[in-house]
Amino acid sequence: MEIKELEKEWLIPFYDRFNITIKKGKKHYVFDEKGKKYLDFASGIAVVNFGHANRKINNAIKKQIDSITHASNLYYNKLQIELAKKISEKSFKAKVFFCNSGAEANEAAIKVARLYGNSKKAGKNKIIALYNSFHGRTIATISMTGQEKYKKGFEPLLENFIFIEANNVKQLEENFNEEICAIFLEAIQGEGGINKLTDNFVKKARELATKFDALLIFDEVQTGIGRTGKYFGYQNFDILPDGFTLAKGLGNGVPIGAFVVKPEIADMMKSGLHASTFGGNFLACASALKVLDMLDEKILKKINYLSEIFKMELEKIKQKFPKIIKEIRIYGLMIGIELSDKLEVKDIINKFISKNILTLRAGQNVLRLLPPFTIGEKEILDFCNVFEDILKDGEVL
């Protein structure tokens, strides 16, 4: 039986898949069942940042598997402490809670924000979030997500989320008050279409959060772990948040999430208020520890260098096809190419697949690229040549 039919028989049909069955991967390539090779500019949606089957990460995982993978959070675990320290070294002095995914990290952050607010003042339990944001698929995180398509049919959702437009300082000022316990921001909206916040908006958010004793929390699930050319996305701005969430690239494919928060807020929490069975188990921590070892200034330099090459090459294509490419937005190796409404981004993605390249969509009509940090100039030029061929071909228009 074909995999499509087998999937229909056995899996809940939540996914609309592209027609590829991936069997293995190496660095920035994946291979299908017949051995066909694809250049992977998706990284499993910003997860496999250090490439598929990374030798150093695999060795760390293998070593850990032969020792112990899981013992639960009933007992001390040195790896969690080492990992928390390493995250803190690259951000600010903080304490960490480990979980298994981005949505879970945001759930933890929402719970902590409510505990924080409720402990300060009755009714201080409202959270500001942005339209067009994406924070996950649990009930709390779809409630905080500013896109209707993720919420429809799941009502009643969680209350007390207030949505404002990204970069609208007036709305930010109008909606901030004593009842706000937190504001959640993505430095660059990922699923929303690769939209960066302005310096002014972020500065104002910091100012108002401090003024009204609310937490400024960055959702770094997609922007963290070097993706934007900084260790974490908030470092593109001249502020410090009170906390941030991580997942995706943290384990390079081994599921792990984290909520990182200033010690004075962490110290308001008590045992038993939150937990996760798998959260920060030995296996996940071993992988994440190796990821953080590899996430250094040298790799950031490489990401920023490649980003410049991408910018140059994509601008050249934009000049050749000004009616098709509306805008190019590049922050490190987080890239959005906004296409004309006359074009369906899904058709472009399928065209890329037919030419052995994996890409992603985001927002309305944005082609999103999140290549692994293992790529070089050659892969960028290969991608750009194929992109130009697709646009020249005109079939997708």
| Binding positions for ligand PLP, rule: CB under 6 A | 101-103, 106, 134-136, 186, 190-191, 219, 221-222, 247
- Of 205 and 390, nearer to ligand PLP (C-beta) is 205
* Residue 101 to residue 255: CA distance in whole angstroms: 6
Q: Which is nearer to ligand PLP, 150 or 321 (CB)?
A: 150
Query: Length of the chain, please?
Result: 397
Residue 185: is it exposed, middle or buried by C-beta count within 10 angstroms (0-12/13-18/19+)?
A: buried
Q: CB-wise, 214 or 370, nearer to ligand PLP? A: 370
d(CA 234, CA 215) in angstroms, rounded, equals: 14
Residue with Cβ nearer ligand PLP (186 or 379)? 186
Which is closer to ligand PLP, CB of 135 or CB of 351? 135
In angstroms, rounded to a whole number, what is the distance separating the alpha carbons of residues 125 and 44?
A: 35
Nearest distance, CB of residue 218 and ligand PLP, angstroms: 9
232 CA to centre of own chain: 10
With H, G, I as helix, E, B as strand and everything else as coil, classify residue 15: coil
Residue 396 CB, nearest distance to ligand PLP (Å)? Answer: 26
The residue among 135 and 230 lying less far from ligand PLP, judged by its C-beta, is 135
Query: CA-CA-CA-CA torsion for 351, 355, 360, 361, nearest 10 degrees?
Result: -10
Which one, 29 or 134, has the nearer CB to ligand PLP?
Answer: 134
**In the bound complex, what is the minimum distance in angstroms from residue 192's beta carbon to ligand PLP?**
9
Alpha-carbon gap, residue 247 to 137, rounded angstroms: 14
In which element (H, E) is residue 183 found? strand 180-185
Cβ distance to ligand PLP smaller for residue 79 or 360: 360
| Smallest separation, CB 282 to ligand PLP (Å) | 20
CB of 220 to ligand PLP, least distance (A): 8
Q: Which is nearer to ligand PLP, 102 or 241 (CB)?
A: 102
- What's the min distance (Å) between Cβ of 385 and ligand PLP? 29
Nearest to 233 by CA among 15, 46, 25: 46
The encoded tokens of residue 266 equal 């962490």
Rounded (10°) angle between helices 78-89 and 282-294: 30
Q: C-beta of 232: minimal distance to ligand PLP in Å?
A: 12
**Helix or strand (DSSP H, E) at 101:** none
At its nearest, how many Å lie between ligand PLP and the CB of residue 195? 12
Task: Write down the least CB distance from residue 48 to ligand PLP, Å.
Answer: 14
- Residue 269: name the closest of 97, 79, 107 by CA: 97
Q: Of all residues in this chain, which one has the CB nearest to ligand PLP in the complex?
A: 102
Pairing of strands 215-219, 243-246: parallel
How far is it, in rounded angstroms, from Cα 215 to Cα 54? Answer: 37
Cα 118 vs. chain centroid, distance in angstroms?
Answer: 29
Taking the CA of residue 115 as centre, how many other CA atoms within 13 Å lie in the half-sphere pointing to its CB? Answer: 15
